[in-house]
Amino acid sequence: MITPISRKVHHLITSAGKAHNIPDLKRLVLVSYFYPPHHWSIGAARPFWFSRLLPRHGWDVWVFTSGGPAKDSSFKDEGIKVTRTGRAELRSSAPPGVSTFGKRLGRLFLWPDSRRFWLRNAKNLEKLAEDVRPDIILACAPPYTDLLLVEKVSERTGIPFAVDLWDPWAEDVYGMYPTAFHRWLTRKAESRIVRRARLIVVVNGAMQEALAARYPGRPIVAIPFGYNPDEMPGPAPSSESLHIAYMGSLFGEHKRPEGLFRELLSLPTSLMLEFSFVGNKSRKAKELIRALSARFPTLELDYLPHAEAMKLASSAHAMLVLITRGPGYRLISTGKVFEVLGIGRAILGAVPKDTWIWNFLSEHNAYLADPDEPGAIAGAIARMAHDWQGNRLRLPDPEKARAFAWESLTAELSARLDEALGRK
């Protein structure tokens, strides 16, 4: 029996899959629960740009993703072959960063994550894989359910798979696994999948080193997040105030706002500053932003479509990057940092010293401050304001930043996939 979802998938496979199966191209099925326009986080941008640009490197690409209401009209599919299923997740009405009984219960019963029910689409993915017969399937995670889904289909079809891992998994840096059994199950699954995958891609050198230590000899490479040069704004406008913008979430162990705002609220009002905060936030973060607005001009917005967020970034003179100490924080590197590089504004890096991200930002002329050092963030902003007034604000080197354009990163991914398939 074909359900409404599988009927739609079957139609897409038979009408799109076979029609676009070009024999002389390498074939790849990219599996990512997060994909625009139903999602447009920095995570959703990564599979989108890979799927759009891999054809320039000889790949015929099919995307297998979830559905739901469109969130971002700035998405343009431009002929990308996309198979969409229904959304499969339990959603909470609680504000970001708030732990509720429902969330805790979900973590107890839904392993490896809240998208576990997407595993029901294994038959649909298997049908697509059998029709397309790709050379390889690329599983993007999180959600980690994607990895289990692709592993299952690979076993059934004999088609090899690769992994694109955006966040650590077995380290449980986000506290997803409440018991020793959950954590054991996760370690076993990670070990099995890493050993079976033809290629494991991670997003920074710290993750690469951690996985290589656990799984010596496995093909683990680092390909970071990136940016699209065509979307980047021009020079910052002239202004009497130094405008510092933050785009991203403000909740969770790795984005705790208290230390940041303690520093911001200590700044003298004689400094000509204004602030913007765009993204999902905890209630506490919103309260702190309201307090800051009593001292400096401050804009607070929730999620913005990508195109609108870029317009706001164009009005800023500096971009803030924030990471706070939490479980596994040394492995964390927010994907937004590479878009910040591309925007070409001064960077205020409020990140722990003993991290990959601190070392990375130091190579790109950032103003750095450890969020746990009293006075460090305020001092960095004071230096930034002084340099701005003297028209000598430190900016990233555009030549260095160009290495993180999505086109360059996609070329690297294509080369690594070729190696994994023995096509050096």
CA-CA distance, 310 to 278, in Å (whole number)? 11
381 neighbors 244 (Cβ within 8 angstroms): yes
User: Is 206 found in the same domain as 237?
Assistant: no
pLDDT at 100: 64
CA distance 163 to 29: 12
**Does 379 lie in the same domain as 253?**
yes
Residue 12 has a pLDDT of: 39
Helix axes 180-196, 205-214, angle to 10 degrees: 90
**Residue 393 sits in the same domain as residue 411:** no
**Does 243 share its domain with 286?**
yes
Q: Measured between alpha carbons, how far is 188 from 137 in angstroms, rounded to an integer?
A: 21
- Same domain for 207 and 295, yes or no, is no
Burial of 363 (0-12, 13-18, 19+ CB in 10 A): exposed
- In this structure, the answer to whether residues 178 and 296 fall within a common structural domain is no
Q: Distance between CA atoms of 378 and 5, rounded to whole angstroms?
A: 53
CA separation, residue 219 to residues 151, 193, 224, 267 (Å): 17, 12, 16, 48
For residues 302 and 162, membership in a common domain is answered with no
What integer pLDDT is reported at residue 233 of this predicted model? 82
**Which residue shows structure tokens 């897409």?**
12
DSSP secondary structure of 85-123: ---------SPTT---HHHHHHHHHSSS-TTGGGGGGHH
Q: Residue 353: phi, psi to the nearest 5?
A: -65, -40
Do 215 and 259 sit in the same domain of this protein? no
Element (H, E) at 81: strand 81-84
Pair of tokens at residue 169? 């998994």
> Alpha-carbon distance 299 to 289, whole Å?
9
pTM of the model: 0.88
Three-state secondary-structure class, residue 423? coil
Q: What share of the chain is helix, strand, coil (3-state, %, to 5)?
A: 45, 15, 40
Q: How far is CA 369 from CA 106, 337, 372, in A?
A: 37, 15, 9
Residues of the chain with pLDDT under 50: 1-20
- Whether 220 and 235 map to the same domain: the answer is no
Contacts (Cβ under 8 Å, ≥6 apart) of 213: none
- Considering the domain architecture, whether residues 40 and 110 belong to the same structural domain is answered as yes
Please tell me whether residues 194 and 97 are part of one structural domain: yes
DSSP string computed for 146-213: HHHHHHHHHHHH---EEEEESS-STT-TT----SHHHHHHHHHHHHHHHHH-SEEEESSHHHHHHHHH
Order of strands, sheet of 26-31, starting from the edge strand that comes earlier in the sequence: 81-84, 59-65, 26-31, 136-141, 161-165, 199-202, 220-222
Rounded to whole angstroms, how far apart are CA atoms 276 and 291? 13
Q: How many CA atoms lie within 13 A of 6 on its CB side?
A: 12
Q: Are residues 274 and 374 in the same domain?
A: yes
Q: Which domain, by its residues, includes 312?
A: 229-402
Scanning 390-405, the segments in alpha helix (DSSP H) are 398-401
How high is the pLDDT of residue 103? 64
Q: Residue 273 belongs to a domain with what CATH number?
A: 3.40.50.2000
Backbone angles phi, psi at 273, to 5 degrees: -130, 150
Looking at the 3D structure of the chain, how many domains does it have? 2
Q: What is the pLDDT of residue 57?
A: 97
